[in-house]
């Protein structure tokens, strides 16, 4: 049997590598995608070979990750349950698709991942793989063989491999870091400073605000402070700038696909900054009705992607609408970052629908105010009639 394993170099997937060889007598090919995580990829590759992988692939997917997953999420202002920028969720369908690609190339019978039976990631991997190649077997040993970390430590030790005990489960990529488990399982405990790597504690950030501008073209960020940057570099830069101002820490209670509630901690400085800026620019250039509808579309997009349904055709349908309106989302947004807070303080676009000459209360206004009176008459007509009727029927109290 030949198996392609999504390998992170951590305890779970290292033990899986050994077990696949031992229990299934499998030839294991390991695959690590570079989606901007902070790991040492050479070390991971050597580790895989030391543990008996017949071949190891490291694939740099940073650009693909940004182009096909992160930017669509930004255009959809994607925040699951209003908070989580979907950083981990976005990488899973990409990893799933590369597993399938390498499995085809290597003539493998199965692919394997290190997800447990309690989380969302298993759903995301399994469904992506099933959709792309229904004939491929998906092995999830942690879930299917009931492995746990205590047993894994002992087993690894018995094989002469020592792992440092980790107190948190961390997953990171360009779009953010997620931190789970350990003392964070108590939702009343404030996350200790040690869980954060990309953000300064807001109280220790600079004592004066940092201003910056972000330029968007058709919904895509292209420059910071007028300096054009490629997308990967732009996101990295923003992680750094927003992070040093303590921006991007998230701590919330999340509803998993599998029915559980969980306490989740993230730091996503670039994601939080870009979504805030993008949303604001949309408000300048899209009509009120487009904005109302788009917030429903955005919410649905985030729900589908969180729930492992990247392959659902509705996602593409939603994106057709999102892409169509992004044609006008070009312009500049000015932001103020200060001790953990982010405030939009300016926005400008050639496609702006805002016209100060019309809106102002100053005397040079060009709006014919006498029209307003008649408009109000008709605008509220039905509501006024209904109110008066109900008042007659039930009295003033029921209103």
**What does DSSP assign to residue 334?**
E
Contacts to ligand ARG by CB under 6 A: 88-89, 120-121, 169, 171, 178, 180, 254, 264
Distance from C-alpha of 14 to C-alpha of 17, rounded to nearest angstrom: 5
- Looking at beta carbons only, is 30 or 88 nearer to ligand ARG? 88
- Looking at beta carbons only, is 152 or 171 nearer to ligand ARG? 171
Confirm if 322 and 316 have CB atoms less than 8 A apart: no
Q: How far is the CB of 217 from ligand ARG (least distance, A)?
A: 29
- Looking at beta carbons only, is 264 or 276 nearer to ligand ARG? 264
- Looking at beta carbons only, is 31 or 220 nearer to ligand ARG? 31
- Looking at beta carbons only, is 84 or 216 nearer to ligand ARG? 84
Dmax over CA atoms of the chain, in Å, equals 86
Distance from C-alpha of 18 to C-alpha of 5, rounded to nearest angstrom: 11
CA dihedral 79→120→135→138, nearest 10 degrees, is: 140
Q: How far is the CB of 187 from ligand ARG (least distance, A)?
A: 14
Q: How far is the CB of 126 from ligand ARG (least distance, A)?
A: 14
- To 5 degrees, how large is the angle CA 234–CA 237–CA 242? 120
Q: In what order do the strands lie in the sheet with 261-267?
A: 169-173, 176-180, 261-267, 249-255
Q: In what order do the strands lie in the sheet with 227-228?
A: 227-228, 220-224, 210-217, 331-338, 341-348
Catalytic residues: 12, 92, 121, 169
Region class of 108: left (phi > 0), else alpha (psi between -120 and 50), else beta: beta
Q: How far is the CB of 319 from ligand ARG (least distance, A)?
A: 20
Confirm if 371 and 354 have CB atoms less than 8 A apart: no
Q: How far is the CB of 396 from ligand ARG (least distance, A)?
A: 50
Return the number of other C-beta atoms located less than 10 Å from residue 186's C-beta: 9
Q: What are phi and psi of 109, to 5 degrees?
A: -95, -20
Q: How far is the CB of 155 from ligand ARG (least distance, A)?
A: 20
- Looking at beta carbons only, is 257 or 344 nearer to ligand ARG? 257
**What does DSSP assign to residue 45?**
H
């Amino acid at each position: 049997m030949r198996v392609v394993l999504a390998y992170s170099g951590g305890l779970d997937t290292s033990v899986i590598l050994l077990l696949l060889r031992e229990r299934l007598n499998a030839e294991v090919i390991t695959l690590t995608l570079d989606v901007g995580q902070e790991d040492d990829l050479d070390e991971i590759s050597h580790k895989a070979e030391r543990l008996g992988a017949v071949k190891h692939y490291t694939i740099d997917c940073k650009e693909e990750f940004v182009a096909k997953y992160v930017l669509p999420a930004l255009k959809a202002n994607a925040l699951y349950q209003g908070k989580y920028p979907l950083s981990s969720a976005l990488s899973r369908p990409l990893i799933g698709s590369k597993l399938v690609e390498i499995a085809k190339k290597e003539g493998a019978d199965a692919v394997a991942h290190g997800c447990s039976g309690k989380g969302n990631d298993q759903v995301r991997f399994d469904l992506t793989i099933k959709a792309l190649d229904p004939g491929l077997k998906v092995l999830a040993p942690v879930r299917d063989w009931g492995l746990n970390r205590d047993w894994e430590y002992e087993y690894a030790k018995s094989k002469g491999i020592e792992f440092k005990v980790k107190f948190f489960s961390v997953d990171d990529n360009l779009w953010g870091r997620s931190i789970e488990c350990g003392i964070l399982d108590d939702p009343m405990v404030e996350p200790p400073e040690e869980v954060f790597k990309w953000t300064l504690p807001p109280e220790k950030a600079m004592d004066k605000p940092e201003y910056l501008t972000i330029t968007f073209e058709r919904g895509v960020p292209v420059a910071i402070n007028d300096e054009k940057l490629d997308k990967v570099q732009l996101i990295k830069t923003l992680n750094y700038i927003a992070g040093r101002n303590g921006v991007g820490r998230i701590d919330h209670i999340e509803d998993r696909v599998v029915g559980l509630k969980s306490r989740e901690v993230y730091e996503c400085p670039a994601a939080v900054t870009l979504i805030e800026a993008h949303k604001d620019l949309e408000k300048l250039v899209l009509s009120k009705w487009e904005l109302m509808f788009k917030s429903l579309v955005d919410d649905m997009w985030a729900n589908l992607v969180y729930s492992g349904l990247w392959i659902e055709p509705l996602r593409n349908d939603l994106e057709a609408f999102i892409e169509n309106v992004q044609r006008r989302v070009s312009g500049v947004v000015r932001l103020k970052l200060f001790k953990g807070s982010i405030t939009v303080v300016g926005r400008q676009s050639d496609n702006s629908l805002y016209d100060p000459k019309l809106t102002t209360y100053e005397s040079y206004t060009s709006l014919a105010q006498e029209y307003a009176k008649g408009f109000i008459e008709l605008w509220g007509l039905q509501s006024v009639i209904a109110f008066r009727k109900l008042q007659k029927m039930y009295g003033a109290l029921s209103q």
